[in-house]
């Protein structure tokens, strides 16, 4: 008997819930004579299906990767295959020709196990429905070993009732292609529950009519993350963490799944931050990156424990990152409906704390994304119930706190899942439920975040003005981030017109989507009527001062504040006093920072043989065209200073290389 585990790495840093239990499956396989082989492939996930009908991802290995896979599978005689993803037909053929009789299981996310209604029957590879159960009393209960032993056809009644995380994990794995070797795909330190928000709905007046159906619901009204825990009650959290790290340290370099990046699934591990890191430090885990998913109030509560351990983490060279924390919405009405219970005051306290820690321990504590001075916050700006007043509250509150002038937060919509309390609420009211989204822009956020949208329930805005506001803003945002060639809106007639208006406006005076949002909202509040194009044309024509007190924040250039930009500024000062030979034609004018549609940019101004050139350096992974590219940056030439001269290009190339190096040293 041979167990084959296939893990496909996503290209972006995200939680791979389907691979959560792989170390434990591998460990159980090894201790039960299945001689497991765990193969990893990188850069292979592609969306499949039209986004309007729900998007799913498949592993689509290249021809070369298929050859590698076929060669590795030769003679392996796998009898049981667990894959983290659905496979392309070609990949499936490779598997089938190497192991025609093997049982195949595509791992679901925990959410998929719990929402049986979201499973497409047509998809034969979503075979987990027969293998797993969401019911804690069932032998096939997902977090326990019984289902896997049964699936393998192995009898072990002692282990069957234990949780998977109680089995001995095994982290031995092979990186099959280059992309897998270079990937930073993290592994998850398992146990407990992702979220500790156990707030019920019974005291929330929004849910009075649907309470009987959701009496057992815990947490936010759109979320199913607070499901049954993945470890037994009363689990010794530091002990569980220690067992996993001990196993990680056992696997030899070059044969291990670990990349030095670890995500803690268990909120209790975050709440016992200092104790968990005592374990990590005591075991001598090599310097690594540790990711957590707390709520804002969890961070505030754990502040003392965090502060206590930061100096020792700095010494050990460890880095701590906090993944997106949900504010969801600054409007009290929307926040109550989300059952979120996070206040603006808590947000401000968190910003203040994280800035303090980031400043004191810049190499350890990195909650900030893309050089921003804000942690990464989750926002859901649009729901079926959103009013213009809610939008005003959010734009004012977000821009007062320095949210970017463009980005996901400005077009983030509620992804409504079947059977969630918000879904029941939507069904209770007339005019929300829909067969399809009236505006396909509603799933642009999921599309650009590389999320699957297969099980999302379509809905309509109650307020038609908000529907128009959203339709304009999502297209303006897409135009700012991806330009006219935005693949999602290809063929969308509204996008073509709105993109042209926005692009023309931002060519003549750099106007951010946030600035447009303020102006557009002002028009709508004053009852201005017109088609979407007319409204946008009017909005971009509006003078900035009428748009609201905070808009100026959205497009302002700042003195450098991020370490990266400060490193650039320091380099400029050095170069100005002592210019290397290959940069003699350059004069160094200045370095600033500015929010741009694709994140914060370092704006570099130089003069080449007397001609001024302005470049925005954005993160190398940012979408959109660029003039030059280095390891860390894409350099985008300002439209006002175009260049086609090869000698200018050469000088800028040399400069970009230097900036890249000095910023890497500063990071």
Using CB under 6 A as the criterion, which residues of the chain lie in contact with ligand SF4 when the complex forms?
A: 194-195, 197, 219-220, 223, 225-226, 295, 326
Closest among 662, 434, 659, 398 to 551, alpha carbons compared: 398
List of residues 6+ apart from 133 with CB closer than 8 A = 113, 139, 140, 141, 142, 147
What separation in angstroms does the CA of 508 have from each of 531, 593, 640?
23, 20, 9
Burial label, 97 (beta-carbon count in 10 A; 0-12, 13-18, 19+): exposed
**Nearest approach, Cβ of residue 195 and ligand SF4 (Å):** 3
**Nearest approach, Cβ of residue 111 and ligand SF4 (Å):** 11
Nearer to ligand SF4, 78 or 379 (CB): 379
Residues found in the chain? 667
3-class DSSP state of 127: coil
**Nearest approach, Cβ of residue 342 and ligand SF4 (Å):** 8
CA pair distance 156, 146, nearest whole angstrom: 8
**Nearest approach, Cβ of residue 339 and ligand SF4 (Å):** 8
**Nearest approach, Cβ of residue 322 and ligand SF4 (Å):** 13
Q: Token match 């659905």: residue?
A: 86
**Nearest approach, Cβ of residue 313 and ligand SF4 (Å):** 25
CA pair distance 80, 207, nearest whole angstrom: 46
List of residues 6+ apart from 582 with CB closer than 8 A = 651, 654
**Nearest approach, Cβ of residue 221 and ligand SF4 (Å):** 9
Nearer to ligand SF4, 256 or 339 (CB): 339
Question: In the 3-class helix/strand/coil scheme, how is 340-406 assigned residue by residue?
Answer: CCCCHHHHHHHHHHHHHHHHHCCCCECCECCCCCCECEEECCECCCCCHHHHHHHHHHHHHCCCCCC
Nearer to ligand SF4, 295 or 440 (CB): 295
Nearer to ligand SF4, 204 or 225 (CB): 225
Could you tell me if 414 and 423 are in contact, meaning their C-beta atoms sit under 8 angstroms apart? no
Nearer to ligand SF4, 325 or 498 (CB): 325
The secondary structure of residue 186, as a DSSP letter, is: -
Q: Give the pairing of strands 319-322 and 325-328.
A: unpaired
Nearer to ligand SF4, 335 or 550 (CB): 335
CA pair distance 9, 271, nearest whole angstrom: 29
**Nearest approach, Cβ of residue 293 and ligand SF4 (Å):** 7
**Nearest approach, Cβ of residue 297 and ligand SF4 (Å):** 9
Could you tell me if 94 and 71 are in contact, meaning their C-beta atoms sit under 8 angstroms apart? no
Nearer to ligand SF4, 214 or 295 (CB): 295
**Nearest approach, Cβ of residue 314 and ligand SF4 (Å):** 29
Nearer to ligand SF4, 412 or 564 (CB): 412
Tokens of 636: 């985008």
The secondary structure of residue 169, as a DSSP letter, is: P
Nearer to ligand SF4, 338 or 495 (CB): 338
Nearer to ligand SF4, 32 or 217 (CB): 217
List of residues 6+ apart from 621 with CB closer than 8 A = none
Nearer to ligand SF4, 95 or 195 (CB): 195
Closest among 283, 348, 280, 279 to 318, alpha carbons compared: 280
**Nearest approach, Cβ of residue 190 and ligand SF4 (Å):** 16
CA pair distance 524, 15, nearest whole angstrom: 39
Nearer to ligand SF4, 58 or 340 (CB): 340
DSSP notation for 535-590:
HHHHHHHS-GGGG-TTHHHHT--B---SHHHHHHHHHHHHHHHS--GGGTTEEEEE
What separation in angstroms does the CA of 578 have from each of 156, 584, 647, 648?
73, 10, 21, 20
Nearer to ligand SF4, 13 or 281 (CB): 13
Nearer to ligand SF4, 217 or 634 (CB): 217
Could you tell me if 384 and 428 are in contact, meaning their C-beta atoms sit under 8 angstroms apart? no
For 406-493, strand residue ranges (E) read: none
Q: Which residues pair with 87 in a beta bridge?
A: 59
Tokens of 384: 């079926």
Q: Which residues pair with 634 in a beta bridge?
A: 618, 629
Tokens of 175: 């990186």
**Nearest approach, Cβ of residue 442 and ligand SF4 (Å):** 19
**Nearest approach, Cβ of residue 273 and ligand SF4 (Å):** 18
**Nearest approach, Cβ of residue 328 and ligand SF4 (Å):** 7
**Nearest approach, Cβ of residue 91 and ligand SF4 (Å):** 32
**Nearest approach, Cβ of residue 196 and ligand SF4 (Å):** 8
Nearer to ligand SF4, 380 or 480 (CB): 380
Buried residues in 271-280 as b, exposed as e (16+ CB within 10 A)? bbbbebbbbb
Buried residues in 414-441 as b, exposed as e (16+ CB within 10 A)? bbbbebbbbbbbbeeeeebbeeebebbb
Nearer to ligand SF4, 295 or 337 (CB): 295
């Amino acid at each position: 008997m041979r167990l084959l585990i296939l893990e496909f790495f996503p290209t972006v840093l995200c939680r791979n819930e389907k691979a959560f239990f792989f170390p434990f499956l591998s460990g159980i396989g090894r201790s039960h004579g299945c001689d497991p082989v765990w193969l990893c492939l990188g850069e292979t996930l592609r969306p499949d299906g039209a986004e309007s009908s729900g998007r799913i991802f498949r592993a689509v290995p290249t021809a070369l990767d298929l050859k590698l896979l076929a060669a590795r599978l030769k003679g392996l005689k796998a009898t049981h295959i667990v894959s983290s993803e659905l496979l392309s037909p070609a990949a499936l053929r490779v598997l089938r020709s190497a192991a025609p009789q093997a049982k195949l299981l595509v791992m679901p996310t925990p959410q998929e196990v719990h929402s049986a209604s979201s499973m497409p029957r047509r998809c034969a590879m979503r075979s987990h429905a027969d293998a797993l159960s969401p019911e804690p009393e069932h032998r096939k209960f997902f977090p326990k070993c019984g289902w896997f032993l049964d699936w393998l056809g192995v009898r072990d009644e002692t282990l069957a009732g234990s949780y998977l995380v109680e089995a001995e994990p095994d982290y031995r794995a092979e990186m099959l292609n280059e992309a897998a070797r270079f990937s930073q795909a993290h592994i998850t330190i398992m146990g407990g529950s992702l979220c500790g928000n156990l707030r019920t709905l019974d005291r929330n007046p929004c849910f009075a009519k649907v309470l009987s159906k959701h009496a057992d619901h815990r947490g936010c009204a759109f979320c199913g993350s607070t499901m049954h825990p993945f470890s037994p009650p009363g689990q010794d959290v530091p002990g569980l963490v220690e067992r996993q790290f001990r196993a990680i340290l056992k696997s030899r370099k070059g044969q291990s799944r670990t990349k030095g990046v670890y995500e803690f699934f268990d909120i209790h591990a975050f709440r016992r931050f200092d104790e968990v890191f005592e374990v990590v430090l005591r075991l001598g885990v090599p310097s690594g990156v540790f990711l957590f998913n707390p709520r804002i109030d969890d961070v505030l509560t754990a502040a003392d424990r965090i502060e206590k351990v930061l100096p020792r983490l700095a010494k050990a060279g460890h880095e701590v990152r906090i993944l997106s924390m949900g504010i969801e919405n600054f409007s009290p009405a929307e926040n109550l409906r989300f059952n979120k219970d996070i206040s603006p005051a808590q947000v401000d306290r968190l910003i203040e704390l994280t800035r303090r820690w980031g400043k004191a321990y810049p190499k350890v504590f990195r909650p900030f994304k893309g050089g921003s001075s804000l942690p990464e916050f989750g926002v859901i700006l649009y729901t079926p119930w959103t009013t213009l007043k809610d939008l005003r509250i959010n734009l004012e509150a977000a821009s007062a706190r320095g949210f970017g002038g463009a980005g996901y937060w400005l077009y983030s919509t509620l992804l409504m899942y079947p059977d969630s309390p918000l879904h029941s609420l939507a069904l209770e009211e007339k005019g929300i439920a829909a067969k399809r989204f009236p505006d396909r822009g509603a799933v642009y956020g999921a599309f650009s975040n590389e999320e699957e949208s297969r099980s999302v329930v379509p809905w309509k805005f109650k307020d038609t003005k908000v529907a128009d506001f959203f339709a304009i803003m999502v297209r303006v945002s897409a135009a700012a981030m991806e330009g006219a060639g935005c693949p999602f809106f290809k063929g969308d007639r509204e996008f073509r017109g709105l993109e042209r208006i926005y692009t023309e406006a931002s060519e003549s005076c750099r106007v951010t989507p946030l600035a447009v949002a303020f102006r557009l909202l002002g028009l709508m509040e004053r009852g201005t009527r017109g088609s979407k194009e007319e409204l946008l044309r009017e909005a971009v024509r509006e003078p900035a001062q009428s748009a609201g007190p905070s808009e100026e924040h959205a497009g302002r250039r700042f003195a450098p504040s991020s370490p990266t930009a400060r490193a650039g500024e320091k380099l400029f000062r050095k170069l100005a006093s002592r210019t290397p030979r290959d940069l003699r034609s350059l004069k160094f004018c200045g370095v600033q920072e500015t929010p741009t549609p694709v994140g914060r940019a370092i704006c570099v101004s130089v003069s080449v043989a007397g001609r001024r050139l302005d470049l925005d350096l954005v993160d190398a992974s940012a979408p959109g065209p660029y003039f030059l590219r280095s390891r860390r940056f894409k350099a985008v030439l300002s439209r006002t200073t175009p260049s086609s001269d090869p000698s200018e290009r050469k000088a800028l190339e040399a400069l970009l290389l230097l900036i890249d190096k000095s910023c890497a040293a500063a990071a």
